[in-house]
Structure 1
Amino acid sequence: MEKKLFMKWQGYPVEKNILYQDNTSAILLEENGRKSTGKQSRAINIQYFFITDQVEKGNAKIKYCPTDDMIADFMTKPLQGEKFRKFRDLILGPQD
C-alpha cells in the first residue's frame, strides 16, 4: 500500500490496488476472511489475512483472471511452446 501513496505523491491518479487471482477458493478467502473457511483452513495464521483487511478497508480489489491470462505465471512456472511465446511477447514485446 506504500506504493499507492508514492504514486499519489508523484501526481499519478491512483484508485484501488487490483490483485488478479486465478484461484476461486483463494478469492473467497481473501474477500470473506475466516467467514468462508472450513475446519481445514482453521490453522491459517492471522498474518495471512492482510489482504482481507485491505479489501475490507477499500484499499484493494480482487479480480478473477483466467489461468491462461495470468502473466505472473511467466515468472513462476516453467512454460513451454505457445504459452511461453505469448507471455514473452507481452512482457518483452513481439519477437521476430
Structure 2
Amino acid sequence: MLFRPQLPEAPQLPASPGTPVGRASVVTQHHAPPPAAPAPRRSLPNVSTGAIGLVLLGGVVLTALLTAVAVSAISVAVAAVVLRSLLNSQHRR
C-alpha cells in the first residue's frame, strides 16, 4: 500500500437531467494519503578551486621531493660502491 497509492475515484454525475433538485446525492470520495516527505539529502561540502589547486600543488611538491631523495640515494649508493672497489683494489697491491 505504501508503494501503490490509490487514486481517488471520479465524482459521480447525476443519472439523468430529470432528477429532482431537492434530492441530494451523496458522493463519497476516497482521498489518498498525502505522499511521505522525501528523505533529506545530505549536501556535499563545497570545494573551491583554490583548495583543489592547493592539493594538486602539494602533490607535485611532494613528488618532486621524493624524486630528489631517490636520486640522491642512488648517487650515494653508486659513490659508495666505487669508493669500496677503489679501497679494496688498493689493499691488494
Which one has a larger percent strand, Structure 1 or Structure 2? 1
Which one has a larger percent helix, Structure 1 or Structure 2? 1
- TM norm structure 1: 0.17
Rg bigger for which structure? 2
Task: Using CA pairs under 8 Å that are at least 6 residues apart, name the structure with larger relative contact order, 1 or 2.
Answer: 1
- TM norm structure 2: 0.17
